[in-house]
Structure 1
Amino acid sequence: MGLELYAKIEPILGFEESIEGLYDFYIELLKSWNPDTLIDIGCGSGAFLKRLSQNMELSRVYGIDLSKTMVERAKLLGLDADAKDLCDVKESFDVATAVFDVLNYLDFETLEQFMGCVYKVLKPGGIFIADINTLFGFEEVAQGSLIREDEKRFVTLDSVFDNGILTTNLTLFEEENSGCYRKSNDTIVQHYHETEKLANLGGLVLVQSYPIEMYADIADKEVLVFKREA
């Protein structure tokens, strides 16, 4: 699904400032719940967990991601992280998070299974916080083309949103020692989910939603708070 290629190009995409604002929103929510243990699902390179550890004291903070490249970066930050599927996690936590589009990478059938696995890693009364793209976010923000480059890399992202699915073609040109460029390409698929359809998936109850304006004056994301009642 393009995870490893995205891991290579992420540092030059320039999303850091907007994403840090999203991190801070999560952290303020977490402070209101005052958890002791937390698992971050799809932790990526560990930027959120690092920021969290600088702002809150928890006895256990753990990250998982399907990308081995991302997990290695997280470990370089001194974080406890593994390349592991959520459904293989045996521990339980006060809070689970899935920051920056994680749910949108799952189709609805897979999302149902995912939410069931979130339920299993939460303690009774535990909280799951995640964000999803709004329809506006897909149609007006995510769709289109993006070009980024640095001294040795040139990246293009071309995204089309159709029938509830955003398809993004990633292309990376990397300069090699010979002076020639090596081309890599892959595709990422994201799915639009209506908030109402997520309200009771996997035994989790949606207790709050917050519209977020990351890239526009209209909400392009929603942060959702779910609770395991028992």
Structure 2
Amino acid sequence: MGLDLYAKIEPYLDFEEEVYTLHKEFLRFVMVNDLNNIIDIGCGQGYFLENLKVNKKNYFGIDLSVEQIKVCQEKNLNAQAIALKDVKEKFDCATAIFDVLNYIPKNEIKTFLKEANLVLNQCAYFIFDVNSYFGFDEIAQGCITIDVEDKFIAIDANFEDEKLQTDITLFEKQENGLFSKEQDSIIQEYHSKEFLTKALNETGFELVEIKEFNLHTQEIADKLIFICKKK
């Protein structure tokens, strides 16, 4: 999966407002419920970790992308490039923000949820968001080209059979004036409310609430935020 290539192009995608809006919603929940000792699963370049750090929360971030974690560590954030199953500590809250569960295939969701359950203390919260069907079908699909500095980026996303395939191409100008080319793809899957509710119940979670969330449009909710507790 092209997560390391995505890490290279992410700073040029101009998603700052969306990142801020969604992180604000998660941070509000953390602050209102006075949560501490938080693991952020799929922490990316550490934007949410920075919010936790500023608010003096104990936190730990993990991500499978070595490139993303390098950025976190350059910011002096507590984060490691390790798999969830390799985390040994226990936490009072887990977050998985910006489609983390959509990157997990349906046949691996229950394994992921079991691993999330294992790193949590009793009655701890697990909060995550997923894209709605509308979010995939009407918002995520399409083509983007970005021509900036010494880079040219092309992104082509297609949603079919409940899967979004995003093809990324990056051209970078080298010192000799020629351009190098990198290509990779990212696959995300649509997970329905019913599917996730059943999976959560079967892996030791109590579903507290599903919140509809409008991130990219006011028309129809393009995201769902799941608030769960370990049984």
Check if 1:227 corresponds to 2:229.
yes
SS of equivalent to 2:203? helix
TM-score (norm 2): 0.96
Does the 8 Å CA contact 1:12/1:149 hold for their aligned counterparts?
A: no
Matched letter for residue 75 of structure 2: L
Does the 8 Å CA contact 2:210/2:226 hold for their aligned counterparts?
A: yes
Distance in 1 separating the partners of 2:72 and 2:143: 29
Give the 5 Å matches for 1:156-171: 156-171=154-169
**Equivalent of 1:183 in 177, 181, 184:** 181
Does the 8 Å CA contact 2:52/2:59 hold for their aligned counterparts?
A: no
Distance in 2 separating the partners of 1:122 and 1:224: 16
TM-score (norm 1): 0.96
For residues 159-210 of structure 1, give each alpha carbon's deviation from its aligned partner in whole angstroms, at most 9, with x where no partner exists. 1101100011000010111111111000000000001221224211221111
Distance in 2 separating the partners of 1:201 and 1:30: 25
Matched letter for residue 203 of structure 1: G
For residues 16-73 of structure 1, give each alpha carbon's deviation from its aligned partner in whole angstroms, at most 9, with x where no partner exists. 111110000000011122122000000111011102222x222x21000001111010
Distance in 2 separating the partners of 1:223 and 1:201: 19
Does the 8 Å CA contact 1:46/1:74 hold for their aligned counterparts?
A: yes
Distance in 2 separating the partners of 1:202 and 1:88: 18
- Aligned pairs, number: 227
Give the 5 Å matches for 1:71-220: 71-199=69-197, 200-217=201-218, 218-220=220-222
Distance in 2 separating the partners of 1:149 and 1:77: 27
Does the 8 Å CA contact 1:198/1:206 hold for their aligned counterparts?
A: no
Stretches of 4+ aligned residues off by more than 3 angstroms: none
Equivalent position of 1:48 in the other structure: 48
Distance in 2 separating the partners of 1:137 and 1:80: 32
Superposition RMSD on alpha carbons, in Å?
1.0
Distance in 1 separating the partners of 2:215 and 2:154: 21
Distance in 2 separating the partners of 1:21 and 1:132: 15
User: Between the two proteins, what is the percent identity of the paired residues?
Assistant: 40
Moved more, 145-154 or 129-138: 145-154
Equivalent position of 2:36 in the other structure: 36
